[in-house]
Amino acid sequence: MKTHLILNGKKASLISVRDAISKTRNNGLELEIRVTYEGGDVERLVKEAIREGVKKLVIGGGDGSTNEMVNALMKYPKNKRPILAILPLGTANDFATSCGISQDSYEALSLVNTGEIQAIDVAKANDRYFLNIATAGFGAEVTATTPVELKNFLGGGAYTLTGVLRAIGFEPYQVAMKTENESGFGDVLIGAVCNGRQAGGGQVLAPDAYLNDGYLDILILKKIGATELLDAIAEVENPSRDTKYIRRFKTKWLEIESQNNIIPVNLDGEPYKSKNIRFEVLQQEIKIVLPDRCKLLK
């Protein structure tokens, strides 16, 4: 099966990646390499691959690269989209890690031929798409303002560190929320809309989320004071305990409207801003290569 690897240009010179490509080719994978250089390259390369009849596309990069690939694929009818596979090369690789895709480049590329092909849901925020998790409000600002150098040095811990330092005194967003079952108004410090389970370098936000159940898992952190911060973090990390500051629920769609500021959102690593956002789940939109018995499948 003809396969293209669309490789983030910043990772193309890694010896581990080049060795993995050579070994995988020697084992029979018909793999052609396309390297990105600037914004818009992923969309262009996806277009070229579809025109050439490529059946599988591997994205080599982090969560942001995967997000860019998904948004490019969603521009085409479902029956024209190639099967997606992932070569994790980012700092956190939250989506790939939670799916059980190896961080070893050779093992990840070997999975392209040996893994199971599954149809999974795609989440949508207005006119943008994401596979894993959208964080809104303070959570998105943390990610946007964490320097790249700090992310690389501390890994996922940079998100937590920066978040704790900035949480005290942060003013919440006043939002109106609506789902298929309810509507209301409240103060929100952090919101997470989850198709997958973890973000921020390994923080599990939605332990009961599945990629093929037709639902979004929502987490909302209400306004807290400095003395409540540790209790709130404990609730996030221990979802089975009684919750005072955290609310969790499942829904097919969620509409939020800010009553004060524009809401910053982070879609799988990609920034987005709006005062009105409709999140919804699109069922079984993309076929993806996953390990056998992937725990994110229902």
Residue 245 and residue 224 in contact, taking contact as beta carbons nearer than 8 Å:
yes
Q: Which of 43, 228, 255, 270 is catalytic?
A: 270
Residue 252 and residue 180 in contact, taking contact as beta carbons nearer than 8 Å:
yes
d(CA 192, CA 115): 29
Active site residue 270: yes
The dihedral sign for the CA sequence 157, 129, 287, 42: negative
CB burial string 68-100: b at 16+ within 10 A, e below: bbbbbbbeeeeeebbbbbbbbbbbbbbbbbbbe
Per DSSP, 11 falls in state G
Helix axes 229-237, 157-167, angle to 10 degrees: 150
Determine the Cα angle at 97 with ends 143 and 204, to 5°: 60
- The catalytic residue positions are 270
